[in-house]
Amino acid sequence: MSGPSPKTCTACGRQLAPSELYYRFTLVLEGEQDVLDTSGSKGAGDELASILRQLEAGPEDPREWEEQIHWEHKGVICSACRSVVMRTLARPPRDTGPH
């Protein structure tokens, strides 16, 4: 009988001992936009058509556009990296400026 497969922290790359506590994560980033900017002379339909033409004519790989809208990553992290992630994703104090 073999033991559990070795795990590596996705964040720092450290090998995790089989007896060490680790955390599984799934991070999903999904782009959203509530309203198109229609402040110009064009209507919403014209604006959408213009955006589609830009996308079709551009040199970008469609997968790049897709990853800008939906990106997903799974892995495991060690306790130290979990602390960093939790601080990073916690709400900042109200008096901080933009990034």
**Domain of 68, in residue numbers:** 7-32+41-89
pLDDT of the chain along its 99 residues, tens only? 577 888 999 999 999 999 999 999 999 999 887 776 656 656 667 777 877 787 778 777 777 878 788 999 999 999 999 999 999 989 776 666 665
Q: Is residue 1 part of a domain?
A: no
Q: Is 16 exposed, middle or buried (0-12, 13-18, 19+ CB in 10 A)?
A: middle
Q: Is residue 54 part of a domain?
A: yes
Q: Is residue 12 part of a domain?
A: yes
Q: Is residue 47 part of a domain?
A: yes
- The DSSP secondary-structure symbol of 19 reads T
Q: Is residue 62 part of a domain?
A: yes
